[in-house]
Amino acid sequence: MLSIHAAALLTVLIKCYPLYLLIHLLWTGVTVSGNRELHELIKPQKVEFHSLNFNNTLHWHPGRAATGDIIYFVQYKVYGQSLWKNKEECWGIHEVFCDLTHETSDIGEPYYGRVKSLSAGVHSVWITSSRFTPWRETKIGPPSVNVTPRNKSIKLKLQAPNSPYTRRRGSKIPMTNYYDLSYQVFLISNMLDEKNKILVYEGTDKIVKIEGLKPEVSYCIVVATYLPVLDRSSVYSGRKCTVPL
């Protein structure tokens, strides 16, 4: 008798087990998310370095439920160190970015940055960026361009962008100090149509003369910086136009 009862009970348990499991899962799911809710919702998203000419800034997106009272804390370190350093200027800030140019100035070293948020007395966990090595990842800007019209030609004066670093005397160190850069000069033959670009010069000269042009016709040029070692080009410089004499 007893064994029959036990067997019946067992079959009921087995039949109902999936249901029980589902209820259990739902219940724990609800309680856990209830506890974690605010942590999770204010957690910074997409923590990453943005870098142009070694100006290195940590950026992030506010959490999914970030409200006005949310503030952020930033730390950084060199990969391999065990201690994180506080970035004092970005300790309890409202902005969603933090300039770490100084802290990441050893350009061959790999760095990490991390951010946590605080809202209504609740801290999020730290969210860490991916490893960032300035020399490998910085974007190089286009050169500054000066155009002077000449006899059936245009003379260009090109200057590489500066790094944020300065010499002892105070002058800025150009990016050419850190990379072998070259310039790509494009002539826009039809003033209105950017797509009709012709590569007219590629090299390292700072002064470039484009010859064989028609006088009294307007020409525009754009220039990009090219980084052979990484096979990367900058965005184009602003368009500069002139009329050869």
Partner 1 sequence: MVSIQNWMRCSPAWIFFCFCCLPLLLLALPMPPKRAGFAPASHSCRLRKMSFQQSYIRNRTYTLAKLASLSDQDTDNRLIGQQLYINVQETNRCYVMKRVIEIIVNEVLLSVTSNRYPYIHEVAQFLAALSTELSDCKFSGHREHVEKNLEEMKDKIKQLGVSGKNKAIGELDLLFDYLENACTEAPKKIVTSKGGNKRKN
Q: Which residues are at the interface with partner 1 (CB under 8 A)?
A: 77, 79-82, 102, 105-108, 110, 112, 128, 130-131, 133, 135-136, 164-168, 173, 177-179, 228-231
Find the shortest distance in angstroms from Cβ 71 to partner 1.
24
Q: Which is nearer to partner 1, 70 or 114 (CB)?
A: 114
- CA gap 42, 120 in Å, rounded: 10
C-alpha neighbours within 13 Å on the C-beta side of residue 117: 28
Q: Which is nearer to partner 1, 214 or 232 (CB)?
A: 232
Find the shortest distance in angstroms from Cβ 94 to partner 1.
26
Find the shortest distance in angstroms from Cβ 122 to partner 1.
24
As a residue count, the chain comes to 245
CA 80 from chain centre, in angstroms, equals 22
The structure tokens listed for 177 are 């100090």
- CA gap 115, 97 in Å, rounded: 10
Among residues 169, 164, 147, the alpha carbon closest in space to that of 218 is found at 147
Q: Which is nearer to partner 1, 228 or 238 (CB)?
A: 228
The structure tokens listed for 198 are 């012709």
Q: Which is nearer to partner 1, 31 or 177 (CB)?
A: 177
Find the shortest distance in angstroms from Cβ 193 to partner 1.
31
Query: Based on the number of CB atoms within 10 Å of its own CB, is 189 exposed (0-12), middle (13-18) or buried (19 or more)?
Result: middle
Q: Which is nearer to partner 1, 112 or 183 (CB)?
A: 112
Q: Which is nearer to partner 1, 133 or 144 (CB)?
A: 133
Q: Which is nearer to partner 1, 18 or 108 (CB)?
A: 108
Find the shortest distance in angstroms from Cβ 210 to partner 1.
27
Contact 175, 164 (CB under 8 A): no
CA distances from 32 to 28, 40, 118 (A): 6, 11, 20
Q: How many CB atoms lie within 10 A of CB 161?
A: 21
Find the shortest distance in angstroms from Cβ 217 to partner 1.
37
Q: For residue 12, what is the enclosing H or E element?
A: helix 2-42
Find the shortest distance in angstroms from Cβ 231 to partner 1.
4
